[in-house]
Every structure is written in C-alpha cells, then in structure tokens.
C-alpha cells in the first residue's frame, strides 16, 4: 500500500506544481501569486476545481476601510469600546491542539489529549490588552478567534470596514459566504495542522500569517489519530483581575473523541523535534509542505480539505488581525476519493480509535 | 479493501445524485437535462469540476446547417462525392473490443485479445453504401469513425455545417477543442466500455446514440485487464468488390498489450450473459450504470475519465451520424486519485499483466 500512496503524493504534487523532493526549506513551493484578483471563471477553473491555493496581492483590498483603520491602535478599541467579545485563553497559545493528558504522568491511557481553549466574554478593550500581554512565559495567551461568523455577530459594529463577501469568489462558487470571521492575536498563538470543510479566503489586515499547507492526498503523513477531548478551565483567579487567571486542563465529561493530526511541524526544542521526527517519519522524511506568508492586505485562497498549520507575526500595533470568508465547499468526487483514501489503513497512520490510542501509547513507550 | 471500495462507489454515486441500488433498469439514473446551454461558469462549476454529465436539448444546435442538411440522404454524398475517407471494417461491428484469440481453440495463452478494425480508404459514397449494408450476418460491418480530428481533416468540406467549437464549453474550459470527429455508422456498430482523457461534447445529428456511463470511481467493476492486440486484415477479396471483403484477425507483431475492460454489458445470448455475470460479479451484481439516449440535435457532456459504452440506432436515412468535440482535460488531483485507485489490487480486478492474463484463462476454464 505504501508505494501506491507515495506515488499518489508524488503525482498530485506534480500536477499541483509542487516539488516532490524531501523535506527541505529551500525546496518548499510558493503559492501561485497574482497582482489582481482572477476572473470568477479563471478562479474556478485554475484553483477551485483542481484544489490549488492562490495568493492575491494587496490590490484586492485597497478599497477596504479596514486596511487603513484597523492597524491604528485606537480605532477598534473606540469602535468596540462597550462590545463584549469571546476571548480564547490557553497557557501556551495552542488552542484546538494536542496537549499532555492531565491524568499523566504514570497513569494508564493515552499520553496526549485534544485541548480546547477556555472561552471568556470580556469587553473588547480588555481583550486587546490581554492579547497584547499574551506570553506563554506568563502562562496566559489570549486569541480572539470565535469561528461562528463572528465578524457579522460580535464584531458587527466594524463589519462594514471590509467587503461583505469576495465578489469574484462568490460568483465562481455560486453562493455567499457561510461565515465571516475575525481573528486577533499576537505571535504566541499557533493553529495546529487541520483541515476545514470550506473553501476559505483568508485576508490579513495587520501583521502577517505564516501557513504550512499540505494537499488532502497527503492525509496519512499527518498521522491523524483519535484523542480524548479536554478543555482549559479557570483554576483560580486572584484579586488583581483576569490577566492573573490560571488555567488547568480538564477532560471533557462525557468522553468525547476528536480525530486530530499528531504532527507538530515546529516543535519548541531539539529534543521535541527528535521525538516528532522519529514518531512521524512520513511527515518529517517526506517532501516539504507548501509555505506561504500572507502580508497585510493580501488574500489567500485556501482550498477546502487542504491541511494547514498557521503561525503569525504582529504588526507594529502588537496585533495580527485577519478576516476569513468560509464558503460552503462542493462535496463532489474529490471528497469521495478523500474519504476512501482516509479509510485505508496504513501502518500507524490510520484514524481508527483503538489503533490510534494504542499507537499513541506505543509512541510514548519508545 | 473491497468494503472501502464499495463505500467509495456508494458515496460518489450519492454525491453525483446516482442511485446506489443493485443493477436494475428501473433504478438507472438519468443524466441531468437542460433545455438551454448552461453559462460557462455554471457548466464549469456544476459539471466539469465535479465530473457530472449533462444533456443539452436540441435547442443548442438549432442553428447548425448540419441538423437539416446531413440527414438528407444525398447531401453528404454530393458534398463528399470525390472525397476519400477512412472506413473501419469488422465482421461484427466491434472495433476496439475484445474478440476470441485467433490462436484458439485449445492452444495455450489467453483466450481473448483486443481487436482493432481493418481500416480502408474509400470514396465517401462507397463508405455510405457499405455502412448502410453493414450486417454481422454478412460478416461485414463498416463504421466511419476515424478519431483524428477527422471532421476538420477528411471531412473538411462539410465541417462548416456545424459550429467550429462549443462556445460555452470552450469558454469554461479555457481552450478550443483538440479534435472534432465525425462518426457515421448503423445499428450494428457498438463501442465497448472505455474512457477517454478528454472532456467530451457529443452531438447526434441523425439517429440516436445510447450511452451506458460509469463514474471513474467504479474502475474495478470493469475488470480492466491486459490483452494482446490484434487487427482485422483482408483475408481475400473476390472480383465483385469490397463489399465481398472477408476479414480475419491477426495478432500484432511485435506483441502489443492493451489494458481493456473485460465486461460486455450487452452480451448477445443468454449463455454469454451467464458467463459474463459469473465472471464479473462486481459489474453485474452492482448498481446500474447511468443510461442516456442522445437524440438528433442533442448534446451530451461526457466528463473526462468516465467509462462509456455506446450503441446506436439509425435515423430514417439508415445512418447514425454524430460529431464530437474533444477538449484537453485538466490533469488535476482527481486524476491523481484515479491513478491511485487503479493501482490498488482488488481480487481479479487489477490491471497487472500476468494476473490479468491468468485471470482471463481462469475465467475461460470455468
């Protein structure tokens, strides 16, 4: 099976114009970049249908008031002074990511779990203060990233500063966005490898976003396994206020299982990298993911079902601000092929529950 | 593996809007039909990208001179009176199809081979006479079906009677047709299951074409195996002329191997049907192919890589006349997935050479 899989990876990379050589930063492919937005027909034909990412220059958003207004420190805090927003809090900036299982060390069961953020409703100026002060060294990282159409919900007061939809994408896809989200964080927030069932137009307004991208065909390289879900909760809160919040991880009750990629492509230490590289050779010994930095004003088309890992750099205002448009994907033959691929059991890379947890244990026993 | 494959078939049928129930004429799905040609964007989004066939009513070709001129018996023979055309001759109407291996019976080796027609250059009025007289009972079936852009080549004198391309398809696909072919036959010519690496717009001008269609995901149901190639040659020719031609099958030298579907969905006798049904259960026990009759003036969009089997009924002029436009397909992730699927070895359904020939022997031994 594995030779057939490697041939699939190589052929799909070849057809996508990606290098198939082994992991090497120099070999990482750039996302195709255009100065002007494509026509709807060219976008559909050359990007949506074949599932090929596209980066559009800042010319696409030059007319957005947000581009000049939002990076200014006071504009958003003024406009949203009395607005309550959902702030996602973690000790390390890794929401919706794998974390050490709180029952550990030494106990039976899986060593890792899938950890969701602690979500607090706070007024927007407090949110910005907490985001700017975010630091894993202090045990608290805040990220405004409610993915529930929040730009048109919590942030409706400033939604008019950006286009309500992306006209060439809406015409190509034949629909309006299902959700428009706002993302505000600093350099310490990282989004782990995952995929979405949406065609995504991701626009950076302040700072930069750094994407690692893998096509859906490379599913098995991400060692998607099933992890028990956990959630950060407030452990205590001292009298000085929320920025002194301490978080602890609690397993969800009743148990909930989440299939998630086991791979961390950017481990914090050489020791962690050594563990990752030996545990997940298909990722670390294989060809490099596509790399793409999206700068302020630029738009990334991220095709549905592509795996993406996202880190970010703040602008001079200390914030990374982005807006994304999720369009309903077309569930077509590509989706059926992907599900077939995913159902195939490759040694250690399947997503079966029992095998996954055993595999996870195995990995830690080594 | 087989359960995963069945799940793929069911899911892709579900997403394509095809029934997944077992073989049953009543359950056969109709191809979506529209009265007016789609816009390029809708065609690309709803048919090309997902790989979904489309039938367009005769309104699409009402402006073609060919629609009124070609069915008239004398028009084409007058216009092409002194034109030499390529006529494909077989004893039974099955060109590019499996036939009994000429070294049989009793000898070693495979029982069947892949037989190509004997091709003769004759003047067009002779071609029409031979096509009209075609009858397996007389041992000779003629089909004008040179697939080398022949409408713009041999038949250039009448190419202006149809559109040079299909405007909405050309705009959607971003190119002009790679080939435009003319097909003239009678009821005895049948095209066996195969696929093309082209997006195809198939237009009937006289008579009807009857398509059986299977999506590329159902590759294994067609038992594609490797067969040695053979060609019909003229065995003798008596003094009365070409219509007395006798054909015999000769193996190609040096040996050439052709992967081809082993399945005949419309065997001539109940005995043949019993052999087919027991040899190829994935086809005969599985869900029905999509069925589509294309009538004079109608256009069928046949997506690239779809398997199709074609039979035909003549118009009142005794001829089935059709034109097809082959557009270069986009080799994208769907193509990579298909090749991956095809590379998977399912019992008896793989296309490996040795296994294929053994499988073929096995089948005949039963």
ipTM: 0.89
CB distance B260 to B344 below 8 Å: no
Tokens of B80: 């092409």
- Best probe of the B interface among A327, A340, A346, by most B CBs < 10 A, is A340
CB distance B303 to B198 below 8 Å: no
CA dist B257 and A264 (Å) reads 47
Q: How confident is the model at residue A103 (pLDDT cuts 50, 70, 90)?
A: confident
Tokens of B359: 């499988």
CA dist A156 and A165 (Å) reads 14
Residue in chain B nearest A331 by alpha carbon: B15
Q: Torsions phi, psi of B341, nearest 5?
A: -55, -45
CB contact under 8 A, A217 and B336: yes
CA dist A200 and B268 (Å) reads 53
Instruction: Determine if the peptide bond prior to A39 is cis (ω within 30°).
Output: no
CB contact under 8 A, A333 and B15: yes
Predicted local confidence at residue B28, as pLDDT: 62
Q: Please give the interface size between A and B, counted as residue pairs whose CB atoms are below 8 Å apart.
A: 121
Among A100-109, A192-201, A286-295, B133-142, the minimum mean pLDDT is found in: A100-109
Half-sphere exposure of A242 (CA within 13 A, CB side): 22
Beta bridge partners of B99: B113
Of A8, A44, A336, the CB nearest to B340: A8
CA dist B152 and B65 (Å) reads 16
Q: Give residue limits of the domains in chain B.
A: 3-236+246-343
Half-sphere exposure of B154 (CA within 13 A, CB side): 23
Helices (H), B140-267: 156-159, 167-173
pTM of this structure = 0.91
Predicted local confidence at residue B318, as pLDDT: 95
Sequence-ordered list of residues with C-beta below 8 angstroms from that of B153, at least 6 positions apart, any chain: B146
Predicted local confidence at residue B30, as pLDDT: 83
Tokens of A47: 């990007």
Among A142-146, A348-352, B266-270, the minimum mean pLDDT is found in: A348-352
Q: Nearest CA of chain A to the CA of B6: how many Å? A: 9
Q: Nearest CA of chain B to the CA of A220: how many Å? A: 14
CB distance B170 to B177 below 8 Å: yes
Q: Nearest CA of chain B to the CA of A122: how many Å? A: 43
Closest of B49, B13, B47, B44 to residue B28, by C-alpha: B13
pLDDT (tens digit, 9 = 90+) per residue, B168-200? 999 999 999 999 999 999 999 999 999 999 999
Predicted local confidence at residue B88, as pLDDT: 98
Residue B21 confidence (pLDDT) above 80 = no
Predicted local confidence at residue B64, as pLDDT: 98
CB distance A205 to A354 below 8 Å: no
Q: Nearest CA of chain A to the CA of B50: how many Å? A: 5
Residue B12 confidence (pLDDT) above 90 = yes
Residue A26 confidence (pLDDT) above 90 = no
Residue A287 Cα distances to A13, A221, A302, angstroms: 9, 10, 19
Predicted local confidence at residue A1, as pLDDT: 73
Tokens of A267: 């481990």
For A251-278, what is the mean pLDDT?
96
Residue A325 confidence (pLDDT) above 90 = yes
Strands B97-100 and B118-123: unpaired
Q: Nearest CA of chain B to the CA of A5: how many Å? A: 7
The side-by-side arrangement of strands in the sheet containing B84-90 is B118-123, B84-90, B141-143
CB distance B189 to B257 below 8 Å: no
Of A8, A335, A340, the CB nearest to B4: A340
Residue A15 confidence (pLDDT) above 60 = yes
Residue A355 confidence (pLDDT) above 70 = no
Q: How confident is the model at residue A366 (pLDDT cuts 50, 70, 90)?
A: very low
CATH topology of domain B3-236+246-343: Jelly Rolls (2.60.120)
Q: Nearest CA of chain B to the CA of A40: how many Å? A: 8
Residue B16 confidence (pLDDT) above 50 = yes
Of B15, B51, B339, the CB nearest to A11: B339
Q: Torsions phi, psi of B139, nearest 5?
A: 80, 15
Closest of A206, A85, A199, A195 to residue A148, by C-alpha: A85
Cβ-Cβ contacts under 8 Å, A41 against chain B: 40-41, 44, 171-172, 174
Tokens 């391309």 -> residue: B165
Closest of A96, A137, A40 to residue A231, by C-alpha: A96
Cβ-Cβ contacts under 8 Å, A51 against chain B: 332-333
Residue A243 confidence (pLDDT) above 90 = no
For A304-308, what is the mean pLDDT?
98
- Best probe of the B interface among A5, A197, A337, A338, by most B CBs < 10 A, is A337
Tell me, what DSSP letter sits at residue B239? T
Cβ-Cβ contacts under 8 Å, B42 against chain A: 174
Cβ-Cβ contacts under 8 Å, A6 against chain B: none
Residue B241 confidence (pLDDT) above 80 = no
CB distance B254 to B46 below 8 Å: no
CB contact under 8 A, A217 and B337: yes
CB contact under 8 A, A8 and B339: yes
Predicted local confidence at residue A105, as pLDDT: 63
Predicted local confidence at residue A161, as pLDDT: 98
CB distance B207 to B333 below 8 Å: no
Instruction: Determine if the peptide bond prior to B275 is cis (ω within 30°).
Output: no
């Amino acid at each position: 099976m594995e030779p057939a899989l490697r041939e699939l990876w190589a052929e799909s990379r070849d057809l996508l114009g990606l290098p198939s050589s082994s992991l090497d930063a120099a070999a990482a492919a750039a996302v195709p970049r255009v100065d002007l937005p494509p026509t709807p027909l060219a976008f559909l034909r050359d990007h949506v249908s074949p599932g090929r990412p596209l980066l559009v220059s800042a010319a696409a958003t030059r007319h957005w008031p947000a581009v000049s207004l939002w990076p200014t420190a006071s504009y958003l805090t003024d406009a949203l002074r009395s607005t309550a927003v959902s702030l996602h809090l973690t000790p390390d900036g890794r929401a919706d990511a794998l974390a050490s299982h709180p029952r550990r060390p030494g106990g039976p069961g899986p060593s890792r779990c899938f950890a969701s953020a602690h979500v607090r409703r706070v007024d927007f100026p407090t949110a910005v203060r907490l985001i700017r002060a975010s630091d894993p060294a202090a045990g608290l990282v805040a990220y405004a990233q409610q993915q529930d159409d929040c730009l048109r919900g919590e942030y409706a007061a400033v939604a008019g500063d950006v286009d309500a939809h992306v006209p060439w994408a809406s015409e190509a896809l034949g629909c309006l966005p299902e959700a428009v989200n706002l993302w505000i964080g600093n350099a310490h927030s990282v989004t782990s490898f995952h995929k979405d069932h949406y065609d995504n137009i991701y626009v950076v307004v302040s700072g930069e976003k750094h994407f690692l991208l893998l096509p859906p065909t490379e599913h098995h390289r991400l060692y998607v396994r099933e992890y028990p879900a956990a959630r950060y909760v407030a452990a205590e809160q001292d009298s000085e206020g929320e920025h002194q919040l301490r978080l602890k991880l609690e397993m969800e009750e009743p148990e909930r299982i989440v299939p998630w990629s086991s791979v961390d492509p950017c481990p914090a230490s050489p020791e962690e990298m050594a563990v990752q590289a030996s545990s997940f050779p298909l990722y670390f010994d294989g060809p490099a993911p596509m790399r793409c930095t999206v700068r302020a004003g630029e738009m990334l088309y991220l095709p549905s079902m592509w795996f993406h890992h996202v880190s970010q750099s703040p602008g001079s205002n200390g914030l990374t601000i982005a807006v994304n448009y999720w369009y309903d994907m077309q569930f077509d033959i590509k989706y059926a092929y992907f599900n077939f691929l995913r159902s195939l059991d490759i040694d250690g890379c399947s997503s079966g529950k029992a095998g996954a947890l055993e595999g996870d244990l195995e990995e830690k026993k080594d």
